[in-house]
Amino acid sequence: MLLKLAGLLHDIAKPQTKSIEENGRMRFLGHAKEGACVVEGIMERLRFSARETDMVSKMVEHHLRPGQMGGEVPSRRAIYRYFRDIGDVGIDTIFLNLADHLAARGPKLELDNWREHTHSLAFVLEERYREESVVALPKLISGHDLIDIYGMAPGPQIGELLEVVREAQADGDVSTREGALSFVQKRLAARKTKVDIT
């Protein structure tokens, strides 16, 4: 039912974000993000739970994203980021994107383009089911390691650095604790060099 609601409401903010370029092309920049805010209000008025509201809002906000992961075969890093950001509605959002792709093109659908799109998203789903490690990565290092080993001060920089490590892990560049620590050391050295130069 929630996916159907997302399908009904996913373009709700198109009227207020509509613009027309000089060449006559219509654009709806920001309609997904603005639509998510509108949907939150609708869901609350209809007395859906906070979790249901969050799920539909996320689907609406990210309904274009499956088609923006890049290439016929998205990278492990792109797949990791997608499921990290969208969480438990990642698969629902893929189906919403497929339906939106078909509806937007209607009888003008180009079969080659559709095949490429479905192949890309089928690959994402296969990776999701075949390799849980892409989504639920084992923790190689912690914030305490960065504080104890590198003398970093607690703060947002630690979280940002740990996320960069996890993205490298998702991409297959890092797979062990030692590799993660070496990766961090190189990043910190590069930052220090940049600061020294400026």
Q: What does the pLDDT look like over 132-178, one tens digit per residue?
A: 655 567 788 988 888 888 888 888 888 888 888 888 887 778 888 88
Q: Which of these three, 135, 151, 167, is where a domain ends?
A: 135
Q: Which residues are 27's β-sheet partners? A: 19
Residue 99: per-residue pLDDT: 95
Residues 57 and 104 in one domain: yes
How many folded domains does the chain comprise?
Answer: 2
Residues 81 and 104 in one domain: yes
For the ranges 7-11, 23-27, 76-80, 120-124, the lowest mean pLDDT is seen at: 76-80
Residue 45: per-residue pLDDT: 96
Residues 103 and 18 in one domain: yes
Residues 72 and 149 in one domain: no
**How many CA atoms, within 13 angstroms, populate the side-chain half-sphere of residue 175?**
5
Most confident of 63-77, 90-104, 176-190: 90-104
**179, 197, 169: which is closest to 80 by C-alpha?**
169
Residue 198: per-residue pLDDT: 44
Q: Which of these three, 135, 162, 186, is where a domain ends?
A: 135
Residues 130 and 171 in one domain: no
Write out the residue range of the structural domain in which residue 181 sits: 143-197
Sign of the C-alpha dihedral, residues 108, 113, 117, 122? positive
What pTM did the predictor assign?
Answer: 0.68
pLDDT tens for each residue of 10-24? 999 999 999 999 898
Residue 71 φ/ψ, nearest 5 degrees: 75, 170
Residues 67 and 121 in one domain: yes
Query: Which residues contact residue 109 at a Cβ distance below 8 angstroms, ignoring those fewer than 6 apart?
Result: 102
Residues 125 and 164 in one domain: no
Residues 90 and 168 in one domain: no
* Cα(95)–Cα(98) distance, integer angstroms: 5
Residue 186's pLDDT band (cuts 50, 70, 90)? confident
For the ranges 2-6, 29-33, 56-60, 142-146, the lowest mean pLDDT is seen at: 142-146
Residues 116 and 45 in one domain: yes
Residues 131 and 85 in one domain: yes
Residues 148 and 125 in one domain: no
